[in-house]
Structures are given as C-alpha cells and as structure tokens.
Structure 1
C-alpha cells in the first residue's frame, strides 16, 4: 500500500525492442534475455574468463606503454624493443569463448559440480537463431550432453520489433529443463 492508502501499482515494464533490419541488434537482445532466464533458474555468472582476458589486455597495454615511453630513443633502445616484441606471444588471445554468451557456476545446493556454457549463433543473412547449452566442464562426471534448438527469430518478435518475452522465456526454460532432465536419465 502506498503511504496515502492507495494500492501501489507495479512499475510499467518497458518492452524490449530491436531493429529488425539489424541482425546484431536482434542477437544482442536475445542474448541479454537469455542471461536473465538462466539467472532466474538459479545459476550465477562465472566471470573468471572475462577477468582473465581483462588482465591479459592490461599486461599487453603495459608492455606497449613501456616500449613507447622508454627513456632512450630508437637506436639505443633496440634490445629493449626486441624484448617487448618477444613478450607479445606470451599473452595469448584467449579463445575458449567462441560463440559463448554466458558461463555459469552450478546452482547453489545443486548435486552437479559443473556450470553451463550458453552459446548462440545468428548467421549473417539468416533468421535462424541457434541456442546451445553445454557443460562448462565437459570432462566432468556430472557433465551432460549439449542440447540445442534452432528457430526463426520471427517466432519471438512482432512486426514492430518488440520481443515477445513470454514465448522466448518458455523456449529457453524448456531447453534448460531438457539439459537438466538429460542428466537425470543417465
């Protein structure tokens, strides 16, 4: 109840809208929504890979700054520059992500010891969106076979580009349930 005795009304939810002519806009909106669905199922985001990539990026920038602002000029700093160049291959571009949009920890209190890797694809010039759910540790005994679906994005958007969240949430939740029920049937 509001302080004046009137019933409080829920805040109006702004519909999620994408530019239907921009596949990146569509994919971004769907990926964002998937993250919300997965988190609502009790999974928490695993940010270790993102943090590792940020650390590697910071180290590469530090080496570049050192090379740029070294006190000696070119012929005298040649060995130092060669050393900086030799350091670059030691900072790999981490490619574990590929099409992954979300890495998770297992839900709190869950029997399984592995989180999920959620991946999505929306090929160029296509309306077919593929969502894949796999184990974050495929070698684990509690890992399960990956599950996926491929559907046209036209199933989830109105002609104005508004996402029909209820339909999309149902599809994503069903895929998560399929992944988890597969584990029970082992």
Structure 2
C-alpha cells in the first residue's frame, strides 16, 4: 500500500474510495485522470456525449408519444408500431455508438491550445472486476490522422495509489498519469 505522496496533487481534501468496491476505485481514479488531462491543457470534447444525449432524448420522445398518443388501442395501432420500431432502432444506434466509439473511454479531448497537433486524445481505462490491476491508455482521437501518435498505456496495481484506509495518494497517481501523457506527447513529437 502507498504511504506518502510526493507529487503536485492540487486537492484540498483527501479523496477516498471503498477498497472493497472496484467500481468506487475505478470511478475515483478516472475522475483524477480527467483532472490531470485538463491541467495539462486538454479541454474536454463533449460532441459525442452531446450526440448520445440527443438520441436519448429522441428515444424518450418516442416513448412519450407512444404512451400519451390520443386515442384508444385499436385506432392508434399503426402509431404504436412505428413508435416501437423507432424506439428499438434508436436504442440500437446508442449501443453501436457505445460499442464502436466509446469502448472504455473516460475522456475525449480537443488538442491543447497552441499545439501543432490537430487531434485530441481518447483516454480509456480498465479495472477488471476481481483484479487490482488498473490499465490506463492514451490514444489519438483520430488514429487515421498524420499527427496521431502511437497509443501508450500502463498497467499498475491500485495498491500503489491507496492507503489502507482507502485514501488516494493523489501525488503518486498524478505523477504516473502526467508521465503517461508526456510519453504520448514525446512519442508524437519524435515522429
């Protein structure tokens, strides 16, 4: 278990997670990764999540139309069939976007201001259910771009970043994430 931190963690109150809950640990680490990326000048790109919200709103609108369409069942049968088909199709679209675009992504970014790089980052993480090994991956948001770099990642045990009480030693984790972002940027510059 980690005992002290020697990094630049700008957190006034200690961040704590339930060490018996992998979701709690992953959520806390993912939030901290987002903070680190934003402190390095990467602004969040919310276009994909905004599109998902728009499709989700359309799903809700279709469900509301099916529920509150005036008329009794035999007369509104065609409207209900269209609503059911639209509801299913829009949910399939949401699942396809989640499976193909989002995967394990926790943050999509724009390139930093003043950067020559034209692509942002896709930061993703994994923490398998019965494992303590946290994997963080940084890749280009547009892998086909000439300015995109090779993805970089690390896999470490979460016990390196938490005390016995479940407090995140933010300085240690902050340093590891900053180093990974710097590794991605240096690989990208060397191209």
**TM-score, normalised by the number of residues in structure 2:** 0.89
Equivalent position to 2:154, from 149, 166, 171: 149
Pick from 168, 173, 176: which aligns with 2:178? 173
CA RMSD of aligned residues (A): 1.1
Report if the CA contact (8 A) 2:63-2:87 is conserved.
no
Matching residue of 1:74? 73
Q: Which has the larger radius of gyration?
A: 1
Deviations along 1:83-130, one digit per CA (max 9) or x if unpaired, are 112223442112111100000000001000000000000001100000
Length, aligned pairs only: 175
Give the aligned partner of residue 3 of structure 2.
none
**Residue of structure 2 equivalent to 1:19:** 18
Q: Which has the higher contact order (CA 8 A, sep 6+)?
A: 2
Q: Which residue of 2 is the match for residue 131 of structure 1?
A: 136
Unaligned runs of 5+ in 2: 1-10
- Please list every run of 5 or more consecutive structure 1 residues that lacks an aligned counterpart in the other structure: 1-11
What is the aligned partner in structure 2 of residue 59 from structure 1? 58
Q: Which structure has more helix as a fraction of its residues?
A: 2
